Structures are given as C-alpha cells and as structure tokens.
Amino acid sequence: MGDSNQWPVTGFYFNVELGGAPVSFQEVTGLEVQVETEDIKEGGRLDYVLRIPTRTKYGTLSLKRGVLPSGSDLADWITNVAYIPRLAGDLDKRDIRVALMDESKEEVAVWDVFDAYPTKYTVAPLNSMDNGLAFETIEFTYREFYLYKS
C-alpha cells in the first residue's frame, strides 16, 4: 500500500510555461484524454464482446488570467495565428508546460503539452456596474500531452 502520510496536493499552486517562457495564469482547464473503444464480438459467440482501444482524443487546453495592459509575446502569437494567412505546416505551434507544485515549491505533477496553438480568445464581459477585474481566456488545440509525477 502507499504511504499513509501522503495527502492530495492542492490545485492552486502551479506554474505555466509557453514555449519555455514563464507566463502567469489564474486557472488551467482542459488537461484531459479519452481513449475511444470499439466492441468486437469474439469468435462468433453472441455473449462475449471484446472492447478494444481505437483512438485517443485530447481536450482543449484553456488558460485564464487577468487582462494585462501591455502587449506580450502571447498576444503576438494569438494575433499571428488568427490573422496572418497560413500555408500547410506554417502554423506556429509551441509546447506548453503546466507544473503543479507542493508547499515546498517542488513539482509533484507536470503536464507537457505538445504542438499547441491558440484557437479561441475570449474576454469576460465588461460591466461598468461591477468593480471586478477584466479576464481573458485563451483556448489551445494540441497534439497530445504527457503526465509526469514525482
């Protein structure tokens, strides 16, 4: 069995890197993978079905943060992908790293996301009657991710 002194890690202390550069975000969602399956009848028997994996499908990575007042490499990347015509293979893809940290600043889980590119940019509603922060959410499509645990 496992060590009885281990506790689940809190989800509020994490680091994000885009293309190797640290970037601050308030929320990360969409680190998900699903293996699709197909049912095959085994050996002509009607009562026995073999379920085999067929395709792996990944979610959409979503990163949320407060809107920053000045330009950034991230803003330039979003603009380039959205507005500059692309030829096949010319899409600017980057790797994204999400590291979950423990209270002693040690990485306890790392998700390396490969070949990501922005596919949606959203600004939360702006409301003159509310004194909240302005938030932006950037969604990324990616090829796959690997999870590493310490």
Q: Does residue 5 lie within any of the structural domains?
A: no
Q: Does residue 54 lie within any of the structural domains?
A: yes
- pLDDT per residue as tens digits for the range 16-50: 999 899 999 999 999 999 999 998 877 766 678 88
For the chain, what's the residue count?
Answer: 150
Mean pLDDT of 72-81: 84
Residue 113: count other Cβ atoms within 10 Å of its Cβ.
Answer: 22
What tokens were used for 14?
Answer: 């994490």
Please give the pLDDT value at position 87: 65
Nearest Cα to Cα of residue 118 among 136, 85, 88, 141: 141
Please give the pLDDT value at position 59: 95
Tell me the whole-structure pTM to 2 decimals: 0.83
- Strand partners for 117: 141
The CATH number for 30's domain is 2.30.110.20
Number of domains in the chain: 1
Nearest 5°: the CA angle 100, 104, 109 is: 20
Mean of all residue pLDDT scores within the chain = 87
Determine the distance from the C-alpha atom of residue 12 to the mean position of all C-alpha atoms in its chain, rounded to a whole number. Answer: 15
Q: Does residue 49 lie within any of the structural domains?
A: yes
Mean pLDDT of 57-83: 87
Q: Does the pLDDT value for residue 2 go beyond 50?
A: no
Residue 143 or 44, more confident: 143
The domain containing residue 132 runs over which residues?
14-149
